[in-house]
């Protein structure tokens, strides 16, 4: 998957991202939420999630969500929840007062840091929940962007602080029990009408409003009105995003 283009979010996108976070139920949906929604507020091409399971003697598990190529040995190293590298990230976060913090990979030892630096990453933004305030299960997330992109320190840290509750809630539901990936359309609420789906399918072929209207037997103005509703319901900023999200949710093929 190629890195997504960052689009400045608006109020509709914010509300839609929060709404969709509450519907996430498995790893596949969590990944889509990261890419289609969280990415607008906290741009990233890599997100590492270290989540603790509930229960006595429960262990942590790590999930790696990357949209840039990573070598398999590096992914395997990152996925080791008890590795000293993860402890170093947690210590950096605790030292920052359990607030979001940028961690310089050059200051961390281990094959994980070396591999990420070789892949163009210089920093990771780290934030989490460790149970110190009575919230379970524990969660530590680290996200980054490779060169030439870079993390905007102020925006990234503020975004992580604001979106941590949604991240924690979604990750706990989707990842804690290792829920299997489901690609069924019923995974997502059906928010579009049949006519709106027809418009989307026609729009996927890059047809103009007039051409879509002629195909469906409606006016170009009616098509335009449908498109406005579609983009609002999907939290999309343009036609391309609307088609991409609908395809990601398997509403259209």
Closest CA to 105 of 87, 93, 89: 89
The single residue listed with the structure tokens 């335009």 is: 224
68-94 average pLDDT score? 93
| Strands ordered across the beta sheet of 139-144 | 60-66, 46-52, 139-144, 123-129, 101-104
Q: What is the pLDDT of residue 240?
A: 79
What is the residue extent of each domain of the chain?
11-175, 185-248
The single residue listed with the structure tokens 């890419």 is: 35
Instruction: Check the CA dihedral 102-106-108-110 and report its sign.
Output: positive
Using the predicted structure, report yes or no on whether residue 63 has a pLDDT greater than 90: yes
CATH among 3.30.450.80, 3.40.50.2020, 3.30.930.10, 3.40.47.10 for 11-175: 3.30.450.80
Query: Which of 6-20, 39-53, 175-189 is predicted with the least confidence, judged by mean pLDDT?
Result: 175-189
pLDDT digits (tens, 9 = 90+) for 226-241: 999 988 887 777 887 7
Q: Which CATH class is domain 185-248?
A: mainly alpha
pLDDT digits (tens, 9 = 90+) for 148-196: 888 889 999 999 999 999 999 999 988 876 544 333 434 445 678 899 9
46-73 average pLDDT score? 84
Same fold, 11-175 and 185-248: no
SS3 letters for 75-133? HHHHCCCCCHHHHHHHHHHHHCCCCCEEEEHHHCCCHHHHHHHHCCCCEEEEEEECCCC
φ and ψ of 161, to 5 deg: -60, -45
């Amino acid at each position: 998957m190629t890195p997504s283009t960052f689009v400045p979010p608006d109020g509709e996108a914010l509300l839609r991202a929060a709404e969709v976070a509450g519907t996430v139920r498995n790893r596949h949906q969590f990944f889509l939420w990261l890419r289609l929604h969280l990415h607008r507020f906290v741009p990233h091409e890599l997100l590492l999630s270290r989540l603790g399971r509930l229960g006595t003697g429960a262990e942590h598990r790590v999930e790696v969500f990357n949209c840039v190529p990573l070598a398999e040995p590096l992914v395997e190293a990152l996925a080791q929840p008890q590795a000293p590298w993860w402890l170093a990230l947690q210590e950096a976060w605790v030292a920052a007062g359990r607030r979001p913090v940028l961690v310089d990979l050059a200051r961390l030892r281990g094959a994980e840091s070396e591999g990420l630096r070789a892949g163009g990453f210089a920093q990771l933004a780290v934030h989490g929940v460790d149970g110190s305030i009575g919230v379970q299960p524990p969660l530590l997330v680290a996200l980054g962007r490779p060169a030439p992109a870079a993390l905007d320190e102020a925006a990234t840290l503020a975004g992580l602080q604001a979106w941590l509750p949604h991240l924690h809630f979604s990750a706990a539901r989707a990842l804690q029990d290792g829920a299997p990936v489901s690609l069924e359309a019923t995974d997502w609420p059906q928010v579009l009408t049949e006519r709106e789906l027809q418009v989307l399918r026609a729009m996927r072929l890059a047809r103009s409003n007039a051409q879509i209207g002629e195909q469906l037997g409606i006016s170009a103005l009616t098509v335009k009105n449908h498109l406005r509703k579609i983009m609002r319901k999907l939290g999309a900023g343009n036609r391309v995003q609307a088609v991409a999200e609908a395809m990601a949710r398997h509403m259209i093929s």
